[in-house]
A and B are shown apart, each in its own frame.
Chain A
Amino acid sequence: MRIAVCIKQVPDTEARLRVRPDGSWIVEEDLPFVINESDEYALEEGIALAEKAGGEVVVFTIGPARAAEALRKALALGAARAVHLSHAAFQGGDPISNGRALAAAVAREQCDLVFTGSQSDDLGYGATGSVLAAALGWPHAWLVMGFALEEGGRSCRVVREMESGKNELLRLQLPAVIEVQAGINHPRYASLKGIMAAKKKPLSEASPEDLGLDPRAVGKEGAAVELVAVRSPQSGAGAQILPGDAATAAKALVEKLRNEVRIL
């Protein structure tokens, strides 16, 4: 079984963000980048499945040169091969153009099953996997919190998260696109051996032409929406910040809780 996993490299959620002077996006120079959180879970799901059911994991990413680092990490964790949609035409896309590009890449590698994350931590569309599924004509499920192959790999059982602490149990026919939600499993850490082995694993790059796609149908040009500006959210009334060192602030807070909130 050939399992595709789509991962995106995103700014570390811990990083201090600065908006570019022109407001068009954030300053990316010197930002630490990591694999998107739900994609780490998607990767673990794919690698664990390949180990259990037999087969290999191929990882895909759309991103600039820096994103190769995310692919190398995926290879170190156990993926067999990586495909980097690094060509300039692929960059700056939205779920429509990225879903289209990833679908073409997955189809070229003849994968039987795709894992993606549920939502990217930067643009947060929550949509790319579903578009990819639609483009392939495969069923999909979003916010997947449990996955198991059934009927010798012809179908799968899926646990889909619902609002307010409920889950729905589903059966999907394969091939399918499974959009994994954070918390589905416990992602492994890369071993030293894995990191060494990753250096020799194949990492290929693809251009739109390689995938049989019009360069104007992918990336920024192929996107349906464009980002106009980013800014800090208008923050309601905002908190009253209690100044001073930890002890001073803590004392001030207890005073407030006692006299203003009347809770202590």
Chain B
Amino acid sequence: MAARKVWAVLQQRGGELNRQSRETVAAAQELASQVDAAVDVVVLGAGGRPLADRLAGEMAVERVLCGDHPALETYTPGAYVAALAPAIRQQAPSYVLFPHTYQSMEYFPRLAQQVDGAIVPAVAGFRLAEGTVLWTRPVLGGKLQADVRVKSASGSPVLASIQPGAIAADRLRAGSGAVEALPLDGLAGFVPDREILGIESAAKDEVDLSKAEIIVAAGRGVGGADKMGVIEELARALGAEIGASRPVIDNGWLARDRQIGSSGQTVAPKLYIAAGISGAIQHLVGMKGAACIVAINKDPNAPIFAVARYGIVGDLHEVLPALTAAVKEAKGS
């Protein structure tokens, strides 16, 4: 048995694993093979034993640690931190991996502070270099990638969240492990840190962009509510729906229900024209399933060009009217 441990703390709701959780286990297995460690999977919930049993029959891990407690019925950062902090202190995993979701991101930095750990969010990849793990993560809106490492002197645990797609879920090695109860000493006398009042839709109206064949998407580069005409005209000529990146919505140039990305809609049209959008990861997760992506951007190094099939480098206020004219001409109208 390897002395070092890599933990993968999974995300579940109602006994169903979040999509990214399998990728996180795959990442933990990959990391464990690089640093010669054993993998434990951790699931938190109330009545989570059936899920833990199922996972233990599916994955090549040493243990499935099942944290089963009424206070863990629905996620709250307070309960999750109270459950995990003592367990991490006692069992001293060297690495604790989380799926990079809004839920993990809300509580794992707090957990890291409690266990004197290091925080490495949004990991796109990792590799061993000169005996230490180098973690690759996006910085500056995805325009650059950084390698970070935990300072050598610290023996503290590394808490890292794994970006969707960083490692494919099908890399997960099948096998089995043993189910064990996670000691939950920390939840004795636990006082909730929040009251959950409900869930609502973020947008007032609901435009469903998921069925659109063509989407013309506006980014901050459009420059203002009064400058959206070039987007509307191209959309009209193409018979397309209009979508947008977050700042366009935040600035009030379009309604919230047109937002595409991790907080908005996920779309997969035949054609996606991104105008004045830089290509931050939170936007890309919402549209990279498009069959053909066209990027129009004045910055030749914008990350959007990496996922696009065709690109035009230039001012969208010149390119879009020219494109509208060319489309109209091609359609013979």
Across the A-B interface, how many residue pairs have beta carbons closer than 8 Å? 270
A13 contact from B141, B149, B151, B305, Cβ within 8 A: B141
Is residue B308 within 8 Å, beta carbon to beta carbon, of the partner chain? yes
- B151's closest neighbor in chain A, by CB? A226
Is residue A261 within 8 Å, beta carbon to beta carbon, of the partner chain? yes
B299 contact from A16, A186, A236, A263, Cβ within 8 A: A16
Q: How far is the CA of A123 from the CA of B256 in the complex (A)?
A: 27
* A257 / chain B contacts, CB cutoff of 8 Å: 271, 292, 294
Q: Do residues A261 and B271 form an inter-chain contact, with CB atoms below 8 A?
A: yes
* B295 / chain A contacts, CB cutoff of 8 Å: 239
Q: Do residues B203 and A251 form an inter-chain contact, with CB atoms below 8 A?
A: no
Known pairs A249-B314, A264-B327; A233 contacts B106 (CB<8 A): no
Is residue B154 within 8 Å, beta carbon to beta carbon, of the partner chain? yes
- A159's closest neighbor in chain B, by CB? B200
Contact with B along A132-144 (1 / 0, CB 8 A): 0111000111110
Q: Do residues B312 and A131 form an inter-chain contact, with CB atoms below 8 A?
A: no
Give A48 Cβ to nearest chain B Cβ, in Å. Answer: 16
* A258 / chain B contacts, CB cutoff of 8 Å: 330
Residues of B6-32 contacting chain A, CB below 8 A: none
Residues of B140-168 contacting chain A, CB below 8 A: 140-151, 154, 156
Q: Do residues B263 and A246 form an inter-chain contact, with CB atoms below 8 A?
A: no
Interface residue tally of chain B, by bracket?
35 or more
Q: How far is the CA of A183 from the CA of B264 in the complex (A)?
A: 13
Q: How far is the CA of A37 from the CA of B251 in the complex (A)?
A: 11
Q: Do residues A26 and B263 form an inter-chain contact, with CB atoms below 8 A?
A: no
Q: Do residues A140 and B77 form an inter-chain contact, with CB atoms below 8 A?
A: yes
Q: How far is the CA of A168 from the CA of B263 in the complex (A)?
A: 13
Q: Do residues A170 and B101 form an inter-chain contact, with CB atoms below 8 A?
A: no
* A182 / chain B contacts, CB cutoff of 8 Å: 246-247, 250
Interface residue tally of chain A, by bracket?
35 or more
Q: Do residues B196 and A240 form an inter-chain contact, with CB atoms below 8 A?
A: no
Q: Do residues B319 and A249 form an inter-chain contact, with CB atoms below 8 A?
A: yes
Q: Do residues B305 and A142 form an inter-chain contact, with CB atoms below 8 A?
A: no
* B78 / chain A contacts, CB cutoff of 8 Å: 139
Residues of A19-56 contacting chain B, CB below 8 A: 19, 26, 37
Is residue A172 within 8 Å, beta carbon to beta carbon, of the partner chain? yes
Residues of A85-99 contacting chain B, CB below 8 A: 94-96, 99
Contact with B along A218-253 (1 / 0, CB 8 A): 000001111111111101101111100011011101
Q: How far is the CA of A16 from the CA of B113 in the complex (A)?
A: 35
* A165 / chain B contacts, CB cutoff of 8 Å: 201-203, 256-257, 259, 263-265
Q: Do residues B263 and A231 form an inter-chain contact, with CB atoms below 8 A?
A: no
Q: 9 closest A-B pairs (Cβ-Cβ)?
A: A239-B311, A224-B118, A127-B109, A235-B306, A183-B250, A134-B113, A250-B322, A239-B308, A130-B109
Chain B positions near chain A (C-beta within 8 angstroms): 77-78, 81, 101-102, 105-107, 109-110, 112-114, 117-122, 134, 137-151, 154, 156, 193-203, 213-214, 220, 246-247, 249-250, 252, 256-257, 259, 262-266, 270-271, 278, 291-295, 299-301, 303, 305-315, 318-319, 321-323, 325-327, 329-331
Given A131-B119, A163-B101: 7 more A-B contacts, CB < 8 Å? A13-B278, A169-B198, A170-B196, A232-B145, A233-B145, A242-B312, A250-B323
